[in-house]
Amino acid sequence: MERADGPARPQLRKARARGDPAVSFPWLDPEAAPPMLFPTFDYLLFLLPVLVVFRAIADRPVARVLWLLGASYFFYMAGPKTTPLPTPWYFIGLLGFSTALDFVCGHQIHRLAAVARRADPGLARSARRTRRGYFIASLLGNLGLLGYFKYTDFFVATATDVAGALGLSWATPSLPVILPLGISFYTFQSLSYTIDIWRGRLAPEPSFTKFALFVTFFPQLVAGPIVRASELLPQLRVRPRLTAERMEQGLFRIFKGLFKKVILGDWIAGHFTDAVFTNPDAYTSPEIMLGLYAFTVQLYADFSGYSDIAIGTARLLGFDIPENFDRPYQARNLGEFWRRWHITLSTWLRDYLFFPLGGSRGGAARTYFNLWLTMFLVGMWHYKTGTSWNFVIYANIHGLAMLFNRWNRTRDRGLAVSKKMVRWGASAAVLGVVCGAVAHWVIGLPPPVSAGLGGVAAVTFVLVTLLPVTNTPLNTALHIGLTFHFTVLSRVFFRAPDFATARKICGRLLSWDGRFIRPDLLPTELWVALIFGLVYHWTPKRWVDTGAWNAFRRIPGVVQGVLLALLALVLMRILDGSPKAFVYFQF
């Protein structure tokens, strides 16, 4: 923002007249917050004193908890400064509200459980009713905040679209809701605490400060991994394990994450993928497909890189938080993909939604519904403001594909060939018609292109069904290739900034324009980064987690320090002072 005595003065006067708090009260201006992204010098200046002081007071239980709690609140209020700007620092009140709500509800749910088992039926009935009320208060308080701040835009846009389709006049209300940073993560994390107490699987934490630190622990506060109370609270009650080996492990994970984030994430995004999704008309069909491959590398590098840095930072402090990725693009089917991608979210929804709904214990129809609903919510969890129907389509694509995955895994493979041909042919025809209809009536593609998409879907269905379940190298490669390309193509709706752009990209991909990738499209070093990102991901996990780690730990400490400093310098030069926010900050 320019100075008030410059050209911006009229705009400032208008903003003050509107009552904009960021202008009327400058200390509320979110732009005044310093950047606090992981790959920045500011984060290093924050982390070093936190580590030094924490290690100095490690033997003082109260002091170390209060120190980390204060550091976590400072980290949240200090940024990050991104474009568009994040929520103002005073939204920390929402984090405090969720913490206090679940701390109180958890204690009351646990206390009333004993009363509900008493012999007096009237007293027990009243206790059960009150206990249920506290549980509902926790659910409504957390999910209500999440629903309002994250999905108000979606519900308003949906109502507008439905009204327009029905020919009704609808004045779209203006509700400029800001998404609080990390709300999708800390609400799930805090809510799991009360759910586990409700189920009798967890005793409430007696210390409010320890519980508050569990909710706000800064390494994973704003973008995960989603940590459960049973995983972190026990570690907060004992002296952290501070050893030289764990320090080395933490540094190794941090710099691995920084390399992913800066080289394979920010660099690829800034030089290619952002431009493709901003203006797809400027690119040929093969170039847009290349952009999808590049975004696939970028997204994994960005989010898994963040998780690596979070896990590494926690390890420097003596704590262990769960892994969030396990080479997801090596998955042989979609079910395995979601067991490897954003693991803490997938397992959270499995344990707190799929299993409570009945899981696979009911009939086939109930099982398929439970699976679809869980996967639909996994997709919709990723919804971001302004994308309209993108994530409804994305969620349903993955939800229905998971139903097919389960059917293909559990079906009777001993059917006669004639029955297989009839059933598979009918199923493929139905799938082709449905996909073609959706492509035409929902996405808006022309009839020939829609029919072609339906045909591709039908052929893919038959191909995947015909593939045998074996562990031969060729069969495994085919399954991995099909699963990988399914995730790549579905990410049109994940990355496109709005529904109109997603439709345009789908049309460009499916309507071959007769052109190829231009030789001067990308510089050589970017091609190297793209190819390295894909090849690196498909290498055996032990090459990095065991081989590279063992090589790193054998290097003398002084040399380690020099190498890490040089890497940091290279990354800072590449960033050129403008690191990108992590992709999952917007969720």
Mean pLDDT, residues 244-253 taken together: 88
Is residue 66 included in any domain, yes or no?
yes
Q: Is the dihedral of CA 220, 224, 228, 230 positive or negative?
A: negative
Mean pLDDT, residues 382-400 taken together: 82
Residue 256 has pLDDT above 50, yes or no: yes
The total domain count for the chain is 1
Is residue 413 included in any domain, yes or no?
no
Residue 497 has pLDDT above 90, yes or no: no
Mean pLDDT, residues 359-373 taken together: 86
Residue 554 to residues 95, 193, 241, 549: CA-CA distances in angstroms?
42, 41, 21, 9
Both tokens assigned to 188: 């799930």
Q: Which pLDDT band holds residue 584 (cuts at 50, 70, 90)? A: low
d(Cα 379, Cα 394) in Å, to the nearest integer?
Answer: 6
User: What is the reported pLDDT for 507?
Assistant: 83
Mean pLDDT, residues 234-255 taken together: 89
Residue 25 has pLDDT above 80, yes or no: no
CB 261 within 8 A of CB 580: no
Is residue 310 included in any domain, yes or no?
no
Q: Which pLDDT band holds residue 159 (cuts at 50, 70, 90)? A: confident
**Per-residue pLDDT tens over the stretch 102-120:** 999 999 999 988 887 776 7
Q: Which pLDDT band holds residue 583 (cuts at 50, 70, 90)? A: low
User: What is the reported pLDDT for 198?
Assistant: 93
d(Cα 301, Cα 417) in Å, to the nearest integer?
Answer: 44
d(Cα 411, Cα 407) in Å, to the nearest integer?
Answer: 6
Beta-carbon contacts of 294 under 8 Å, excluding residues fewer than 6 positions away, are: 268, 272, 273, 276, 530
User: What is the reported pLDDT for 31?
Assistant: 37
User: Is 382 annotated as catalytic?
Assistant: yes
Residue 105 to residues 131, 141, 331, 492: CA-CA distances in angstroms?
9, 11, 40, 41
d(Cα 525, Cα 267) in Å, to the nearest integer?
Answer: 10
User: What is the reported pLDDT for 585?
Assistant: 62
**Per-residue pLDDT tens over the stretch 499-514:** 888 888 888 887 777 7
Helix 92-116 × helix 183-198 angle, to 10° = 10
Which residue type sits at 404?
F
Residue 174 has pLDDT above 70, yes or no: no
User: What is the reported pLDDT for 65?
Assistant: 94
Beta-carbon contacts of 523 under 8 Å, excluding residues fewer than 6 positions away, are: 271
Q: Which pLDDT band holds residue 26 (cuts at 50, 70, 90)? A: very low
Mean pLDDT, residues 25-45 taken together: 55
Higher-confidence residue of 89 and 34: namely 89
Mean pLDDT, residues 324-352 taken together: 91
Q: Which pLDDT band holds residue 35 (cuts at 50, 70, 90)? A: very low
Mean pLDDT, residues 434-448 taken together: 80
Which residue type sits at 49?
P
User: What is the reported pLDDT for 36?
Assistant: 66
Residue 209 has pLDDT above 70, yes or no: yes
Q: Which pLDDT band holds residue 135 (cuts at 50, 70, 90)? A: very high
Mean pLDDT, residues 127-140 taken together: 92
d(Cα 348, Cα 351) in Å, to the nearest integer?
Answer: 5
Residue 430 has pLDDT above 50, yes or no: yes
Question: Could you tell me the pTM of the whole model?
Answer: 0.86
User: What is the reported pLDDT for 470?
Assistant: 76
Least confident segment among 16-20, 248-252, 525-529, 556-560: 16-20
Is residue 427 included in any domain, yes or no?
no
Higher-confidence residue of 580 and 122: namely 122
Given the residues 110, 382, 398, 479, the one annotated as active site: 382
Share of the chain above pLDDT 70, in %: 87
Share of the chain above pLDDT 90, in %: 27
What is the overall mean pLDDT for the chain? Answer: 82
DSSP 19-53: T-HHHHSGGG-GGGSPP--TTSHHHHHHHHHHHHH
**Per-residue pLDDT tens over the stretch 522-545:** 888 889 888 988 888 888 888 888
User: What is the reported pLDDT for 363?
Assistant: 81
Is residue 48 included in any domain, yes or no?
yes
Is residue 234 included in any domain, yes or no?
yes
CB 236 within 8 A of CB 214: yes
Domain that holds residue 108: 36-240
φ, ψ of residue 360 in degrees (nearest 5): -110, 20
Report CA 184 to chain centroid distance, whole Å.
9
**Per-residue pLDDT tens over the stretch 220-231:** 888 879 999 999
Higher-confidence residue of 412 and 473: namely 473
SS3 assignment, position 472: coil
